[in-house]
Amino acid sequence: MATSTKEVQNIAYIYGLGRRKRSVARSKYYPTEEELTVLVNKKPIKTYFSDFYAETILAALNKMGVSKGRFELFINGGGTSGQAEAGRLAIAKSLLKADEGYRILLRMHGYLTTDIRKVLPKRAGLRKNRKPEQWSKR
């Protein structure tokens, strides 16, 4: 009986979850001896994000000096900046589970803090959430 590819690729990984605005990012960290690779939705990070947002995600890895292993990010919803910050939080949480010694540096740089701000919904009688109708004197 032939083994399926899922059984062959059954490598242990470390999971992390990050949220920001409307975005949810799930990361899988495979601690290997290979050079560092980061995939976002099965694409290389440089093709999925522009350089600015790619650096936002990789900031946690650069500060910790991680140069080996493989990260797979699965990001849903939201815009580019929300996705990038959710991905950074997911990577930071998976790094923390891998090595508890990273906690002090990750906390110092603010990579473990969840930014809970979300867009408020539109309210009745207003143009947007807080913007009223324009008032005219005559």
Task: Give the tokens for residue 65.
Answer: 């000096």
* Cα dihedral 52/53/54/55 (nearest 10): 60
Domain ranges, residue 46: 9-108
Question: What are 15-72's pLDDT values in tens digits?
Answer: 999 999 999 999 999 988 889 889 999 999 999 999 999 998 888 888 888 888 899 9
- Contact at 8 Å (CB) between 23 and 40? no
**CATH number for the domain that contains residue 57:** 3.30.230.10
Average pLDDT, the chain: 88
Task: Place 11 in a pLDDT band, splitting at 50, 70 and 90.
Answer: low
In a domain, 37, yes or no: yes
Q: How many domains does the chain divide into?
A: 1
- For helices 80-98 and 51-64, the axis angle rounded to 10 degrees is 20
Give residue 17's pLDDT.
94
Q: How far apart are the first and last CA of the chain?
A: 84
In a domain, 97, yes or no: yes
Say if 27 falls within a structural domain: yes
Please check whether residue 128 is in contact with residue 134, taking contact to mean a CB–CB distance below 8 angstroms. no
What is d(CA 45, CA 41) in angstroms, rounded to the nearest whole number?
9
Q: Look up the pTM and report it.
A: 0.82
Digit-coded pLDDT (tens) for 71-127: 999 999 999 999 999 999 999 999 999 889 889 999 999 999 998 999 899 999 999
